[in-house]
Amino acid sequence: MRRDPARLLARYLLLAAAVVLLNFLIPRLLPGDPLDPGGAEGMTAATPLPAEARARIADYYGLNEPLGRQLTDYLGDLARGDLGWSIAQPAPVARLILERLPWTLALMLTALALSTLLGTALGLLAGWRAGRPLDRALVSLSGALSAIPEFLIGIGLLAVFSVGLGWFPLMGGRTVFAAYGDGPGATVHRLSDAAWHLALPATALALAGIAGFLLLARDTTAGLRGESWLTVARAKGLPVRQVVLRHALPNLALPLLTFFSLRLGAVLGGALVVERVFGIPGLGLLAFQAVRARDYPVLQAEFLLASLGVLLANLLAELAYLRLDPRRGAGHG
């Protein structure tokens, strides 16, 4: 597992290149034609493009060129940050994505932070009481929550807290027709409004992802209970709270880091789906609209961005692991 940073970097560069190549090849090699909406099996037949329009679009995208030439063009565009032009909306894909990205990122990061904090706290609690009813209840509850699709948890929260209790908005990312005013107060208003709208979807995502963090913290803590240094710490008379926070918690840092980066792809997928439940105007809603309009460039760009983002996060996590792992350099490598 342990690698030196250079090899790690090379491996991830290779993976990134594979992702870019995959993104280039998928629409060109798979059956199905982005220019022929009627040709997709299982969709309600759409009006096919007239042959002349089709030829012009194919020409515009350079689809008649040899594959190698297309690839170099594609890489050139990519290097300039040009992700193409959306089919359904009159805007370049890059701009559409950049507009929506903050919502999805805010949703994901809030959810990840929430599930890390909650999961670790509850996991410490459960691990310290491993085998007792509280431990079993927490483990099975979080297991059930992680099994159910995120959007169902979202629907449940929406039904209870928005529809039933009316505490949170029904849908959207901001209050419709909201006048935030000017000045420094406006930004605060705007942000708090967004936070109010993001609270439920983030909670849904966090609940869906809590199980892994909880089990990680629980197992580590439960395993630590037998360690002799912990017995010593307690024999010295340290209060339990301090033993947990000062001695047990640091042991969690490395596995948590690994797990954090592993979860990222799943959280991203969950965010995309949950956005549709709550009408959050992020990448998920964009993808949903793109699916309906068969807006292929948008989906392609989202896949590219998502995979590269996940790869980058994994790389950073592994590099951080190399730096943080106290066993490195001690000859255990």
Partner 1 sequence: MAERTGRRQWASSLHADPAPRDWSHPAQHTAVGRRLGTRPRLFWLGGGLLAVACVMALFGPWLAPYDPALSVGPPLQPPGSGHPLGTNDIGQDVLSQLIAGARTSLIVALGVAAISAALSWLVGLAAGLSRRLEAPLIGLADLLLALPSIPLYLLIVTLIGPSQTNLILTLGLLSWPAFARVVRSVVIRVRAEPYVEAARALGGSNLHLARLHLLPATLDILPTKVILTVRFAIFAEATLAFLGLAQSGTVSWGSMLSWAFSDPLLFARPVWPWLVLPPALAIAVVILATTWVTTGLQHAPATHPPSTHAETADRPLARAAPLPAEGNPPGEPAAERSRERRPTA
Site for partner 1 in 238-297 (CB under 8 A): 264-266, 268-270, 272-273, 276-277, 287-288, 290-292, 294, 296
- Cα 304 from Cα 89, distance rounded (Å): 19
Stretch that binds partner 1, among 88-96, 251-259, 304-312, 316-324 (CB under 8 A): 304-312
- Cα 283 from Cα 246, distance rounded (Å): 40
Residue 48 as a binder of partner 1 (CB under 8 A): the answer is no
Tokens of 267: 């959280």
Task: Assign residue 99 a region (left: φ > 0; alpha: ψ between -120 and 50; beta: otherwise).
Answer: alpha
Residue 103 as a binder of partner 1 (CB under 8 A): the answer is no
Tokens of 194: 């967004």
Tokens of 116: 């890390």
Tokens of 30: 């798979």
- Smallest CA-to-CA distance from 108 within 235, 310, 270 is with 270
The interface mask with partner 1, positions 154-193, x = CB under 8 A, is: -xx-xx--xx------xx----------------------
Binding residues for partner 1, rule CB under 8 A, total 59
Q: Which of 40, 63, 78, 88 binds partner 1 (CB under 8 A)?
A: 40
Site for partner 1 in 65-94 (CB under 8 A): none
Nearer to partner 1, 42 or 237 (CB): 42
CA 115 to chain centre: 13
Q: Please give the angle made by the CA atoms of 12, 16 and 17, to the nearest 5 degrees.
A: 115
Residue 112 as a binder of partner 1 (CB under 8 A): the answer is no
Q: Which of 41, 66, 179, 228 binds partner 1 (CB under 8 A)?
A: 41
Q: Which of 86, 116, 120, 307 binds partner 1 (CB under 8 A)?
A: 307
Tokens of 316: 């950073």
Residue 102 as a binder of partner 1 (CB under 8 A): the answer is no
- Cα 290 from Cα 198, distance rounded (Å): 22
Handedness of CA 193, 194, 195, 200 (dihedral sign): positive
Q: Which of 116, 203, 220, 314 binds partner 1 (CB under 8 A)?
A: 314
- Cα 164 from Cα 11, distance rounded (Å): 50
Residues that bind partner 1 (CB under 8 A): 15, 18-19, 22, 26-27, 30-32, 34, 39-44, 143-144, 147-149, 151-152, 155-156, 158-159, 162-163, 170-171, 215, 219, 264-266, 268-270, 272-273, 276-277, 287-288, 290-292, 294, 296, 299-300, 302-303, 306-307, 310-311, 314
